[in-house]
Amino acid sequence: MSNFVILTDSSADLGDDLVRQLDVQVLPLSFTLEQQTYHNYPDNREMEPHAFYQKLRDGAVATTSAVNVSQYTEFLEPLLQAGRDVLILAFSSGLSATYNSSVIAVQELAEKYPERKLYTVDTLCASLGQGLLVYLAARERDSGKTIEEVRDWAEANKLSICHQFTVDDLHFLKRGGRISATTAVVGSMLQIKPVLHVDNEGHLINIAKARGRQASLKALVDKMEKTAIDPAHQTVFISHGDCLEDAQMVADLVKERLGVPEVYLNPIGPVIGAHAGPGTVALFYVGTER
C-alpha cells in the first residue's frame, strides 16, 4: 500500500477493475433521471450504462450535479484520520464546479489535520482523459515518487493529455448549448458529425466537421497521428456512449496505423453521457498539443 491515496471522481470514467488495479479511490458524482437521483460508481451498481443510454434514446433527460464541499469532506476525513495523505485529481474546472469544491474542502481539512498532506489538482481533463491522467499518475506513484512529486508531475503533464470526441446525435450538444438548434437540425439532415476536443482551459470545443459517422471516427485517429508522442509505447484510452463496435473500430485503427500496443475501452458514464448522448466516441492519448 502506498503512503498516499490518489482520489479522483467518477467523471474519469474508469471501470471498477482498473480502479482496483491502480489502487485509486473514486468519489461518485450524481445524476438525476426520471425524477430519481443515482450515484455514478465505477461498478455501475445503481445503473448500468446500457440502461442509462437506452433511457436517453427513449427521450428521457438526465441532469448532473457536481461534487459539493461536504461530500469531499465526508470522503476525505476518514482517510486523513487513518493517517493517509491524499492527492485529488479533479474533473476539469472548465466543465464542472467539482474542482472548486475540492479546493474549499482541502483548505478546511488542512487546518483541521495540519500533520497530513492534502493536495488537489485541476486536471483540465474529462472522461477517460481524466482517467488516463489518473492512470499515469498512479504509475508515477508506484515508481516510488512522493505525493509532492506526483502532484507536480500531474500539473506539468496534464495539458499533454489529448481529448478527441465525436458525437452521433447533435441534439444533445444543442441541449447543452454547444450548438444552435438550426445547426443541430441541418447537421442531422446532412449527416454532419462534429469533431470536438478539450482545450487548454478544460472546455469542450468544436474543432472540425466530418460527413458521416465513419469519417468522423477516422478523423479522431487522423488528429492523433499528427500529435501523438511515441504512440507505439503508449496505452491509449477510448470511451464510448454505448457504442462498443464504433469504439472498437477506433481502437483497431490506432493499433493498425500507429502501432499502439494496448487500448483500454470503457463506457462514458452518465455524468458525461448526459451531455454528449448515446453514440459518442472519445479518444485519449499523450500528445504534443491538445
pTM for this one? 0.94
State residue 189's pLDDT score: 53
In sequence order, the β-bridge partners of residue 31 are: 38, 64
Instruction: State how far the Cα of 125 lies from the Cα of 161, in Å rounded to an integer.
Output: 8
Residue range 7-18, pLDDT digits in tens: 999 999 999 999
CATH 3.30.1180.10-classified regions of the chain? 160-286
Cell numbers that stand for 81 in this block: 484520520
Query: Rounded to an integer, what is the distance from CA 146 to the centroid of its chain?
Result: 25
- What pLDDT shows up at residue 185? 46
**Residue 175: predicted pLDDT:** 61
pLDDT on residue 169: 74
Convert the pLDDT of each residue in 178-229 to its tens digit.
555 555 444 455 577 888 899 999 988 888 888 889 999 999 999 999 999 9
Question: Which tens digit of pLDDT belongs to each residue from 42-71?
Answer: 999 999 999 999 999 999 999 998 899 999
Cβ-contact 46, 34 below 8 angstroms: no
CATH 3.40.50.10170 in the chain, residues? 4-156
| C-alpha cell at position 152 | 507536480
The topology (CATH level 3) of 160-286 is Hypothetical Protein Tm841; Chain: A;domain 3 (3.30.1180)
The CB density around residue 218, as the number of other CB atoms within 10 Å, is 17
User: What's the CATH fold of domain 4-156?
Assistant: Rossmann fold (3.40.50)
